[in-house]
Amino acid sequence: MSQFWSEVVNRLTPYVPGEQPKITNLVKLNTNENPYPPSPAVLEAIHHETHANLRLYPDPNSSRLKQAIADYHQLNLDQVFVGNGSDEVLALVFQALLKHDKPLLYPDITYSFYPVYCGLYDIEAELIPLAEDFSIRIEDYRRPNGGIIFPNPNAPTGCLLPLTAVEQLLQMHPESVVVVDEAYIDFGGESAISLVSQYPNLLVIQTLSKSRSLAGLRVGFAVGQADLIDALERVKNSFNSYPLDRLAVAGATAAFADDAYFRDTCSKVIASRESLASSLTQLGFEVLPSAANFIFARHPQRDAVQLAASLREKGIIVRHFKLPRIDQFLRISIGTEEECSALVTELTRIL
């Protein structure tokens, strides 16, 4: 291969997703899915849409869903963008909203798709180290940049940046887009959506994959002032990329209408997280404070790879990242109460 092409190929580091095993009797705590099913109203809406309208093409603008999101978050319709999962929304953000004359800033431990998109779209990045306690230190972001992106809570640490700090960051860089990836915000954080009307440089991204139990439907969205949303729409339309399909629009719209179910399942996940965190602490783990639907923990005397392998032998899958500084941590998604108990029982035997 010529040097030119090998450079191009080397830039394209494929994203390595968490394992999706075929065996169904495993306790699957590795990819942060919600352990509870979607709201019955979602299933009903998908069923109805299947029978009534599946022969028809989808609405290219997903207007019904955008309106539901706008109403839910008290926004205007032109402040909402929807995509096939927040990963697609993120891809369009990387293509549309970053300035290329200065580096994009993001934490050195963060969602592993960001470096993949930087490689794909040839975007220079500057990685900002996390503090000793794994928190994001906003003072370290006081440097020239073509944009800033971070998950809040961060992934895979679960640590939350308070909303006041997010606001300080927005004020620090009025000329840069600040993208807050709130995939896990509903499990204990305060969303930056409340700041959208005040800050033209803010874009908030959320997903229905986690707190609304719809990872398989692929629906994510971004909210921000109309200019930013218009830029995303233009890039999406330039590619003639796929609109959301009819089932995704019907199911996602119904999810926003059943707020009681959403609140109830989030509360259950939060309660299980707190109880699992205290059980792990009792077993000698160091557990980072989590505002997400997963826990990031290490055992000072036990090797993380071996622990993950021993759990796997017992049918429990957790996630391990072979990365500097976090290679002794396990990321454990919050399962049902029974799944969390099964994990604690196995760990008690292993340790």
Closer by beta carbon to ligand PMP, 117 or else 302: 117
Residue 215 or 350 having the CB closest to ligand PMP: 215
User: Can you tell me which residue has the tokens 């921000």?
Assistant: 224
Show the tokens assigned to 237: 């339309």
> Minimum distance between the CB of residue 338 and ligand PMP, rounded to whole angstroms?
24
> 120, 215, 257, 344: which one contacts ligand PMP (CB under 6 A)?
215
Nearest distance from C-beta of residue 181 to ligand PMP, angstroms: 5
Decide whether 243 or 279 has the Cβ nearer to ligand PMP. 243
Residue 156, helix vs strand vs coil: coil
What type of residue is 304?
A
Pick from 34, 39, 62, 86 the residue near ligand PMP by CB under 6 A. 86
Per-residue CA distances from 181 to 83, 154, 224 (Å): 14, 9, 12
Which is closer to ligand PMP, CB of 326 or CB of 347? Answer: 326
> Quick one: which of 93, 220, 233 has its CA closest to 150?
93
Please, which residues bridge with residue 351 across strands? none
Query: Mask 36-75, x = binds ligand PMP (CB under 6 A)?
Result: ----------------------------------------
Among candidates 157, 193, 130, 113, which has minimal Cα distance to 292? 157
Contact flag: residue 107 with ligand PMP (CB under 6 A): no
* Binding range to ligand PMP, per CB under 6 A, among 82-90, 188-196, 236-244, 341-349: 82-90
Site string for ligand PMP, 144-183 (x = CB under 6 A): -------x---x-------------------------x-x
The answer to whether residue 207 forms part of the interface with ligand PMP (CB under 6 A) is yes
Main-chain phi, psi angles of 176, to 5 degrees? -110, 150
Rounded to a whole number of angstroms, the minimum distance from the CB of residue 86 to ligand PMP is 3
Q: Is the peptide bond before 156 cis (omega within 30 degrees of 0)?
A: yes
**How far apart are CB 162 and ligand PMP at their closest, in Å?**
18
If DSSP codes are grouped into helix, strand and coil, which group holds residue 202? Answer: strand
Q: Is 111 in the site for ligand PMP (CB under 6 A)?
A: yes
Select 39 or 207, whichever has its Cβ closest to ligand PMP: 207
In the bound state with ligand PMP, the residue whose beta carbon lies nearer, of 146 and 220, is 220
Residue 102, Ramachandran bin (φ over 0: left; ψ between -120 and 50: alpha; else beta): beta
- 85 token code pair: 């999962």
Is residue 106 helix, strand or coil?
strand
Beta carbons within 8 Å of 341's beta carbon, 6+ residues apart: none
CB nearer to ligand PMP: pick between 179 and 343 = 179
Q: What is the DSSP string of 257-293?
A: H-HHHHHHHHHHHHHHHHHHHHHHHHTT-EE----SS
Q: Collapse the DSSP code of 145 into the 3-class scheme (helix H, G, I; strand E, B; otherwise coil) and give the result.
A: coil
Provide the binding-site residues for ligand PMP, judged by CB under 6 A: 85-87, 111, 151, 155, 181, 183, 207, 209, 215, 220
